[in-house]
Amino acid sequence: MSTTNNVVVLIRHGQSEWNEKNLFTGFKDPELTAKGREEAKLAAERLKKLGFVFDCAYTSALRRAQVTLDIVLEALDQKSIPIEKDQALNERDYGDLSGLNKDDARKKWGEEQVHIWRRSYDIPPPNGESLEMTAQRTLPYYNEQIKPKVLAGKKVLVAAHGNSLRSIIMQLEGLSGEEIVKKELDTGVPIIYELDSEGNPSLYPPVTNSSLSNCSNS
C-alpha cells in the first residue's frame, strides 16, 4: 500500500476518436475510443497496485478527460471523492488547425510552419493558443486550487490533456519552454509526483504503456 502523502498524479486522457484519426483536437470534444477506455482501465490497475486512495480529483471541461477520470475512479471504487471540473485545464486551443488532419495541415501551410506551431513554446497557430498561452491559464489554476491541496497532505488526481499537463510538468520539473515542448506524454499513462513541504517534487519511477500492459498481465 502507498502511505505517501503530498502526492499529485497527472494523467493524460485515453486515446480519443480524433487522436486515432490524426486530427488536431484542442477545444473540440470527441469521445474516447475503445482503446482509450482500455488505457484508462490499465492506468487504474497500476494505481491500484501502488495502493493509491485519492482525496480529490480535477479535470477539464472536455469529455475525453472527464470520461478518463470517471473510468479510473470507478475501477478504483473511488467515485465518491470530490471532483472539480474547469476549462483552465482544457487542451491547448489549436484555432484554425482544429479538426484538420495533421498531414492535410502540412500540405496547406507547409511542414516547417506546422512544426513551428506544434513544437514552439510561444508561437500560436492562427486564432489559437501557444503552449505559453496555455500555461498562462493552467498554472494559476494549479497553483491556486490544486497545489495547496497537495501541500496539505492530500493525494490528488488530475486528468487533463497533453499541453495543459505539460504546463504543470514544466513548473514541477523546472523545465524551460524549449525543453517542455520536446516532452511526449502518452495517453492514459499516470505520472506520479510526491511534493515536499515547499512544493519541490520527486518523481516516482516512470509508468509506461508497456509497464501498464505487464501490470494487466501479471
Catalytic residues: 13, 91
Kindly state the cell numbers that stand for 26. Answer: 484542442
**Has 102 been labeled as part of a binding site?**
yes
Cβ-contact 91, 164 below 8 angstroms: yes
**Has 119 been labeled as part of a binding site?**
yes
**Has 91 been labeled as part of a binding site?**
yes
**Has 101 been labeled as part of a binding site?**
no
**Has 16 been labeled as part of a binding site?**
yes
| DSSP one-letter code for 31 | P
**Has 25 been labeled as part of a binding site?**
yes
**Has 15 been labeled as part of a binding site?**
yes
Q: How far apart are CA 71 and CA 57, in angstroms?
A: 13
Q: How far apart are CA 8 and CA 70, in angstroms?
A: 17
Q: Which element (helix H / strand E) includes 174? A: none
**Has 134 been labeled as part of a binding site?**
no
In the Cβ-directed half-sphere of 59, how many Cα atoms lie within 13 Å?
A: 21
**Has 12 been labeled as part of a binding site?**
yes
Kindly state the cell numbers that stand for 55. Answer: 482525496
Cβ-contact 63, 31 below 8 angstroms: yes
- Known binding site: residues? 12-19, 25-26, 64, 91-94, 102, 118-119, 162-163
- Known binding site for substrate: residues? 12-19, 25-26, 64, 91-94, 102, 118-119, 162-163
